[in-house]
Amino acid sequence: MFTSVGRAVAVVACIAVSLGALQGCGGKRPEGGIQPPAVGAKAPELSLKKVDGAPVVLAELTKGGPVVLVELRGWVGYQCPICSEQFADLMAHADQFKAAGAQVVVVYPGPAEHVDQKAKDFLDSAALPENMHFVLDPDLVFTKAWGLHWDALMETAYPASFVIDGTGTVTYAKVSDGHGGRASAQEVLDALAGKG
């Protein structure tokens, strides 16, 4: 999945993150401006495309039941290893999401000139279950509209997970202030079951 240059960039970035050397590698999101949707709020619209160009529209998906929306960091100059782990966790629980009647939308942001190819590299030919949708966010249009833009060197988005019910209302929200601290698939499944 990584080229030797990609591995080197990822290693340097991980070391810098560990040392806190990069601006914005954690800490509080800036106050003011657009904030992510909170529990009880109506979810802003989402209309993005999959890698194959097929459209994904939140309002259409919620007609069939709850939607789990997961924002990854996407392409930040390298493939984020924590994003890869989170995606693998979601994939491993795909049958449980389906049993809960949920559609899962994973958002992959990045610069328009790279996001399509880098998303394909990230997926590495993975076959997605029918209830999972991997969508692109070229130039962070969705990320900014949802208040998730992480405006720092080698960053795109604050990782986040939301559950949106059939009325378009957010019933669960977890937004990380750094690379870690993300919702696990089990946490999201618990939220879908009303345990969160």
User: How confident is the model at residue 24, as a pLDDT?
Assistant: 40
- Number of structural domains the chain divides into: 1
Instruction: Report the CATH number that the domain containing residue 137 is assigned in CATH.
Output: 3.40.30.10
53 pLDDT above the threshold of 80 = yes
- Predicted local distance difference test score (pLDDT) of residue 34: 87
- Residue tagged 């459209």 (tokens): 55
Task: Output the pTM of the full model.
Answer: 0.86
Q: Provide the residue range defining the domain that includes 124.
A: 4-192
Give pLDDT tens digits for 166-194: 999 999 999 999 999 999 999 999 999 99
Element (H, E) at 107: strand 103-110
Please compute the mean of the pLDDT values over residues 155-171 and round it to a whole number.
97
Kindly write down the DSSP assignment for every residue of 112-142, as one continuous string: HHHHHHHHHHHHTTPPPPTTEEEEEEETTHH
Predicted pLDDT of residue 23: 38
